[in-house]
Chain A
Amino acid sequence: MLQALGLSYQYSEKSLFSNLSFEINPGDCLQIIGGNGAGKTTLLRILSGLCPPQKGKVYWQHQDIYHSQLHTYNTDRLYLGHKLGIKTDLTLFENLKLHQTLQRSEHPVSPTELTWLQLKNIATKSLSAGEQKKLALLRLLSSSALIWILDEPFSNLDETGTNWVQELIKQHLAKKGRLIFTSHQKVNLTSQLIEL
């Protein structure tokens, strides 16, 4: 269970959110909505372990993620932010291998799942924004993480790509996985909402 207790964050003079509490159980899907600059990305960064909250705590399996060894949470959580973590000098396939090595993943992406990656040996810098996004999202396939934290997972994707990601999410939730995401688009997912 992921539990957020009394989270508060202030940027300059502006309070992004205060005293925010919620919990996410197996199979739960949480969508965070709000306008530009409302603090959605900041909240996701706090929940992922990238940015400590100014007030409040985040617990994963009853352990504070900022005060305990993060190793368990690092294995159990997959975060995909605005920056995709793609090295443009490497090819698509090398990028995938790099992230599988980082995640110590034992489930390599199978060739059938890479059908759209026909040019897997080309440098990533020649890909469009949407293709780069798809490449980053391929990490979801090889991941055994229990909780996915995704910042705007549908941005830059065409309709086929959006449906593909929604299908992946549904499969993850059916396997009792958890999901926290932000999106400006209308998505076909049953989720709890937090509005900032």
Chain B
Amino acid sequence: MFFLKLLILEFKQNIRRYNDIFMPLWFLILSMLIFSIGFQQDSSILKKTAPSIIWVSVLLSLLLSANQLFTQDDDNGFLEQVLLSPTSLLTFVWVKAIIYWLKICLPLLLLLPVIGISFSLSYFEIKIIAITLLLGTPSFVLFATLGAAIILRAHHNAILLSLLILPLCIPILIFGLSIIDDASCGLSFTTPLCFLSALLLTSATLLPFVTAFALRTGIHYA
């Protein structure tokens, strides 16, 4: 009940900052446009590389504003109030991660059919990309949350966050793209799908605890 109330209030706050929702979407559309122009000469290459382009663009759009995840709450003192309240920091981390996924990833996923059609992808390919993104983006968000907690009071934190998080996202990217590759060749994609699911379960189990620990340590020793 407390979790739900916090989630609703956090959602209300985020929905009023609609610039934060449109910027990653705009970035994604621009990236797609640039790639389309770049591969204008050979549309077969564009169709072949479309899943990789979509996955990398989604990852980059997601990291675009990830450094701001806890900044506002730290600046206005809300984070300190959470730390000192009976509500666990872990609950707060989950609320932030869920809202961030809803704010950034859900609009990107809803836009996927349009992007897929513009890349001349088949319905089956779009469906597979959507499934892999549904499994991959929550892990990206959890890694981004951890990165945002670690670099909270660091200078030039946007660059630092990318340097810290991008290497950790590589396994997710590899398994996500393997599923699409195998599926488009008509092969069984159970193994990479299991690995991607396992990565999601592992990150969902461990990362919020580490994020909460990083936030607590950051405040205690600031």
Contact = CB atoms under 8 A, between A and B. Distances in A.
Interface stretch (B6-14, B29-37, B114-122, B132-140): B6-14
Interface in A73-129: 74-75, 77, 79, 81-90, 94, 97-99, 101-104, 123
- Size band of the interface chain B makes with A: 20 to 34
Interface string B1-44: 01001100100110011000000000000000000000000000
A50 interface: yes
A85 B80 contact: yes
A28 B87 CA distance: 27
Given A77-B84, A79-B84, A103-B86, A50 B5 contact: no
A48 interface: yes
A84 B85 contact: no
A98 B75 contact: no
A83 B86 contact: no
Given A50-B220, A90-B13, A98-B9, A83 B76 contact: yes
B83 interface: yes
A71 B86 contact: yes
Contact of B85 (A74, A86, A88, A89): A74
Contacts of A174: none
Nearest to A78: B84
Interface in B56-76: 72-73, 75-76
A71 B72 CA distance: 25
A83 B75 contact: yes
Contact of A50 (B9, B73, B80): B80
Nearest to B85: A102
A104 B87 contact: yes
Interface of B: 2, 5-6, 9, 12-13, 16-17, 72-73, 75-78, 80-87, 219-222
Listed from nearest, the 7 A-B pairs whose CB atoms lie closest are: A83-B77, A85-B81, A85-B77, A102-B85, A101-B5, A89-B13, A85-B78
21 contacts: A50-B83, A50-B219, A50-B220, A51-B222, A52-B220, A74-B84, A74-B86, A81-B77, A83-B80, A84-B76, A85-B76, A85-B77, A85-B80, A87-B13, A88-B76, A90-B13, A97-B5, A98-B9, A101-B2, A101-B87, A102-B6
